[in-house]
Structure 1
Amino acid sequence: MNLPTLVTLIYGVLLLVGGIIGYISAKSKPSLISGVVSSLLLLISGALQWQQMAVGLVLAQFLTFSLAIVFGIRLWKTRKFMPAGLMLIVSVATLAILLIKTS
């Protein structure tokens, strides 16, 4: 298993855990739904990468870029580092690793 695949899978699990924690702590159904959906899509893209399918990497890059934008907007609106700021940093780091693979 290569680094981009591993990072995609870890990021997917982290989003799932974050969505569950958001639901438990704030009773936020949108947090749970978005965490589960984005997590499932990233886990699928990780599985596709593991099978050496290029679409898996492209899907992971698109999802990670989209999530970075979402977390950036949330950070801008709330001005609170947790959880949006932390997830923005994780998203950008994940995206950097995924983009290095294509260069």
Structure 2
Amino acid sequence: MLVYPTQPNPTHPHRGEDDFSSRESSPATRTRAREVPSPPTAGGEEAWKGRIGEGRERIMEDFYVTIPYGAAVLGGGVAGYLKRGSKASLAAGGGFGGALLLAGALSARAFARGHPGGSLFATVLQTVCAVALTVVMGIRYIKTRKVMPAGIIAAVSALVLIFYIYKISNGGNKVYVPVSAE
């Protein structure tokens, strides 16, 4: 069985205290993690899925997509400038890539602080950037029929936009619910 490190360790010198006792928290807000059961030998995936988090599925948080996506857009803008000397590519890649990196950082920060809906500003910013890149690069691909970079960026942005819409429709990033003190 796996045990989260925040559970009291019976052999630890400070029995009953969590491993993070140095941070300030009242006994009412202090939480304990649950034990994660071993996978069942019979019953398949459905039996296992129902045990973790009372039936909640684990879904990837949006910042796991936004940060690499922003870095790729930023890198593409820099590469366009270095290869062709395109200042427009540098400005667009830097602007959209920087905005996406900012949105990813804000979303990760909201997730780490336990805000279940995440940062509203980050959600709006990353969605607007994905829509703009999908539309602009899609139009550019239709006009020029060049797969690189317009077609690739339009396709990746469309996939990322679908992911963002899915996350928004499911209520954003999931924050793990603490176990009530017994």
Amino acid at match of 1:9: I
Query: Percent identical across equivalent pairs?
Result: 38
Partners in 2 of 1:55 and 1:77 — Cα distance?
A: 33
Where does residue 29 of structure 1 map in the other structure? 87
Where does residue 131 of structure 2 map in the other structure? 65
Where structure 1 has 5 or more consecutive residues not aligned to the other structure, the ranges are: none
Match 1:47 to one of 89, 105, 119: 105
Give RMSD over aligned pairs.
1.1
Partners in 1 of 2:154 and 2:61 — Cα distance?
A: 20
Amino acid at match of 2:96: S
Higher CA-based Rg: 2
Any idea what the Cα deviations from partners look like across 1:50-77, whole Å, max 9, x if unmatched?
1221221121011110111110111012
Structure 1 segments (4+ residues) deviating >3 Å: none
Where does residue 113 of structure 2 map in the other structure? none
Instruction: State which drifts further: 84-93 or 52-61.
Output: 52-61
Where does residue 57 of structure 2 map in the other structure? none
Amino acid at match of 1:77: K
Deviation at 1:24, TM superposition (A): 1.3
Amino acid at match of 2:151: G
Under a length normalisation based on structure 2, what TM-score does the superposition of the two structures give?
0.54
Amino acid at match of 2:138: G
More helix by share: 1
Amino acid at match of 1:84: A
Amino acid at match of 1:61: T
Match 1:6 to one of 60, 64, 67: 64
Where structure 2 has 5 or more consecutive residues not aligned to the other structure, the ranges are: 1-59, 111-118, 170-182
Tell which has more relative contact order, 1 or 2 (C-alpha 8 A, sep 6+).
Answer: 1
Where does residue 56 of structure 1 map in the other structure? 122
Amino acid at match of 1:86: I
Match 1:102 to one of 127, 145, 168: 168
Under a length normalisation based on structure 1, what TM-score does the superposition of the two structures give?
0.93
